Each structure stands twice: as C-alpha cells, then as structure tokens.
Amino acid sequence: MNMPTHRHCHLQTPSRRDVLRAGSLGLLGLALPELLRGRAAGAAELDAETRAKSFGRAKSCILLFMWGGPAHQDTWDLKPQAPAEIRGEFKPIATKVPGIQICEHLPQLAQRTDKLAIVRSMTHTDVNHLTSTHFLLTGQAPPTAPELRADWPHIGAVLSRLGRGRDPLPPFVSLRPKLPNDVPRFVEESHGQSAGWLGQAFDPLSIDANPAEPDYRVGDFRLPAEMSLARLDHRRSLLRDLNERLRLRGNDTAVSTMDRHVHRAFDILNSATGSGAFELSQEPRAVRERYGLNPHGQSVLQARRLVERGVPLVTVFWPSDGIKNVSVYWDTHNRNFVDLRQRLMPPADQAFSALLDDLGERRLLDETLVVWTGEFGRTPRVGQRNSDAGAGRDGRDHWPGCFTSVLAGGGVRGGQVYGSSDRHAAYPASNPVAPVDLVATVYHALGVPAHLALPDALGRPLVICPGMPIRELLG
C-alpha cells in the first residue's frame, strides 16, 4: 500500500487506560513531558565518568533509516507467549548475548548482538510517516506549516553548520536510491531531511542514483578529456568575477550559498580523494557481495566509504522497489510476514552485519556511530486499524506507541537491551524513550554540547535538541 501523502492521519480513539499506559502523552501534540523520558530528573544528567568516556567518541554517524516503520514485534522484540494475532508467524532465536533474543530472520545480526544496544521502548504519538520522520531525524516536533525552511535541521545539517568534516567531500550526505517504478517518495528534502531553517548552505548532498547498477555515478566527478586543469581554473576565475558582481547588486546571501557548493564541486573535481569516494568499483567483488548486491546493501557500503574519508554523517534511506501488490518500504499494511521474510529482513540483516564487521576490521567502529531505526512500529494485532491507511488481514498498521531503535559503535555499550515493551508490544513497560532523547544521545556521542543553541534566519537562538542523552546506552 502506498504511503499517505497528506500531513496528518488519525489515531484510533484510545481508552483512558491506553492514555495512562502511554505515559500521559498529548495524543496529537507531540508534547514530551519528563514522564516520557522515563528517568527521574536527578538521574537524567550524565555522571562525569560516563561523559568523559563517551562525549565526542564518534567522529561520524551512519543513520540507517528504515522508511515505512518496521514491525518491531516481528524483528527485534518478539512476543512468543502472546496470542497468535499478536505474536505473528515468526519465532525468536538465541543470540550471541545470553538472554537476548531476536527474530529468526535476522540470523547474522543475532551473532553480533554483543555490538548492539537494542532500545525496545521507543515511543511517540504521531501515526503519520512524514511528520514522525521529522521527529526521528531532528529530535523536534515538525512545524505546523509544511514548508522546507520551517523544518528543524537534520542532525547532519547541524554538524555541517558546526564546521565538521574534511573538504572536499560534503559533511552531510543522504543516500536515497530511486528505483524503476517506485512509488512517490516523501516530499523531496522535507520533513527533517534537510537543513531547514539553518539554510540551504547546510543541506545534504542527496544521491538518488542506484549504487547496485553497473553504471552507478554520482553526478560526474570526472573532467572531460578536452578539459585541462588550466581551463578549469580559468572557468573558476570567471565564476568568481560573476559572483562578485552579483554581490554588488545585493545578492550576497544567495551568492554565498552558491559559492560554498561551487567551491566544493571544484575541489571534488581536483581531488582523487573526493571523486574516489563514489567509485564503488574500487571495492573488491567479495566486499560488495558481503554487503549484498542490492540497492540497500550497496548504499550501506557507499556510506562506509564516505565516513572512512571524513564525512561526518550519512543517512541511508531504505528504497522502494515499487513491485505491484507488494508492501513498499517497511510499510507492511499487507503481506507483512511474506515481505518481511522475503524482501526486507534478509538484505537489512546482511548489510547491517557487514557494516559492523567492516568497520571493526578497519578499526573504525569505535569512532563511527551506527543507528538503525524507522519512524514508528506496527500495530500489536495483525489486521488492526490505527490510521487512515488501515491494514489488511495479513498486515499491520502504523503504531507509534512502541517501537525499536538499535545503536552500535561510537561510544555505545553493546550487548544490551534498554527498556522493554508490554506483553503485546503495544507500549513501553519500562524506560520509555522519546525521539528527542535518542537524538540527544546521538548528539552527545558526536560531541555536540547539550542544549546547543544556533541562530535562525532572524538571528533568534534556538535550542537544537532539548533532550537528555540516555546514560545507560553509553560506554
């Protein structure tokens, strides 16, 4: 079923008991009281030892975003004792860490749980794909007006604004493979995917090319045969003169933004390091096969090549293959178990596992934070309706009340499960985690000060993320 393109979906009317179990959440307002954070105020601040060990441990972050909302109870948080309509078709399996079980269709990740921090108590209240995506990518509730420059900035845009990264490569890259016959994607560069009110200069380099194709190219970072370096420098000089004239006419802001992008483009053309970052053909065949010869696997490999060369943040969005009568993304309103078993979990399991191994072998895992998440989970009961989209007899609908996010590397303590869901995987039973605190944890690992304020276009200082890092996740 296609994702809704409107700004709001409607929640089922909950009972008073549901409201209490959800932690006194505002049902439509995305308000996040202290109760939701699941920690007493005195325990929220990181102790000095944890802060010293974990703050800024990560030099980069790879965000694996599973567009559509993975069914948490069918992947990371199975409920084998629940009734059949709740537990579904899959069985849990033992993992490398005694006491931790995950789905039988994630066998490779099951052998790497010693590197994973599995957060089973993520929760918020928004059932809409677009607005809840904004919440997970920024830590902030989306603006009421659906305007690109009203959005809060993506984590990568904040790192870009802080001057992170090494030229010539951009500090913030989004990989979003566009495949033949795919369904309409989310609104381009909106809903937390961009720099929002920080401005266009800090937007990501968005790559839609399919890295699994033999002719994969990101733009064309190769000089034509007839273009010498001298001619390139001459053109750069002409462009500099033109920009100066535009500045004299009062277009300084627009010219400065363009200057930034053009300067980086010229540097990439002149740099073997820059252009080589996008040459997947340089990777041995065995490495490419290890990640999976599919759009997601090769995107994850591309992300590794970028962080290895100093890119601070790469977001890998799950692609849609647009096959008729098949659930798109992880949005399994129908065919939940068929698509999870055949199309979704196998490549996700392979790519995530290969990334952990590859980063470890290259001695990069300790300084690279990896985050695996979707925007929400799926309904506790198969066939249950909880949004305008609904669910078929073999599907699960949107469910933000409880879902799972997973972290690894970059100062995160692996081999643990944080938080728990209730017996139906409907709401957190312990240590509920709001997106704002998950994002605060990411910022902490990347060395971004808590409650950092940056000026918007009007010069007003705005706190980027008001959440608190989750102490227990940090090594």
Q: Scan for tokens 């990501």, then name that residue.
A: 204
CB count within 10 Å of CB 84 equals 8
Q: What is the C-alpha separation between 116 and 247, in angstroms, rounded?
A: 51
- In single-letter form, the type of residue at position 128 comes to N
**80 cis-preceded (ω within 30 degrees of 0):** no
Q: Output the CA torsion sign for 10, 12, 17, 21.
A: negative
Strand partners for 454: 462
Per-residue model confidence (pLDDT) at position 49: 72
CATH topology of domain 16-218+278-316+335-473: Alkaline Phosphatase, subunit A (3.40.720)
Number of H-type helices and E-type strands within the chain: 16, 16
Q: Scan for tokens 């949107």, then name that residue.
A: 398
> Residue 49 burial (CB < 10 Å; 0-12/13-18/19+)?
exposed
Per-residue tokens: 239: 């462009």
Per-residue model confidence (pLDDT) at position 50: 73
CB count within 10 Å of CB 82 equals 17
Closest C-alpha to 469, from 55, 53, 120: 55
> Residue 172 burial (CB < 10 Å; 0-12/13-18/19+)?
buried
Per-residue model confidence (pLDDT) at position 251: 60
Per-residue model confidence (pLDDT) at position 52: 75
Q: For residue 456, is it left (φ>0), alpha (ψ between -120 and 50) or beta?
A: beta
What is the CA angle 448-317-71, rounded to 5? 100
Closest C-alpha to 198, from 251, 161, 145: 161
Per-residue model confidence (pLDDT) at position 135: 94
> Residue 257 burial (CB < 10 Å; 0-12/13-18/19+)?
middle
Per-residue model confidence (pLDDT) at position 168: 84
Q: What is the C-alpha separation between 340 and 332, in angstroms, rounded?
A: 8
Per-residue model confidence (pLDDT) at position 179: 84
pLDDT per residue over 6-64, tens digit each? 333 333 333 333 333 333 333 333 333 443 444 434 344 667 777 778 899 999 999 99
Residue 396 sits at φ, ψ, to 5 deg, of -125, 140
Mean pLDDT, consecutive 10-residue stretches, the chain (475 aa), reads 36 36 35 40 59 89 96 98 97 98 98 98 95 94 80 96 90 91 60 92 92 84 56 60 61 55 56 74 96 96 97 94 72 95 96 98 98 98 95 96 98 97 98 97 96 93 95 93
- In single-letter form, the type of residue at position 234 comes to H
Domain ranges of the chain: 16-218+278-316+335-473, 233-274
Per-residue model confidence (pLDDT) at position 348: 98
Per-residue tokens: 396: 């699960």
Q: What is the C-alpha separation between 317 and 26, in angstroms, rounded?
A: 29
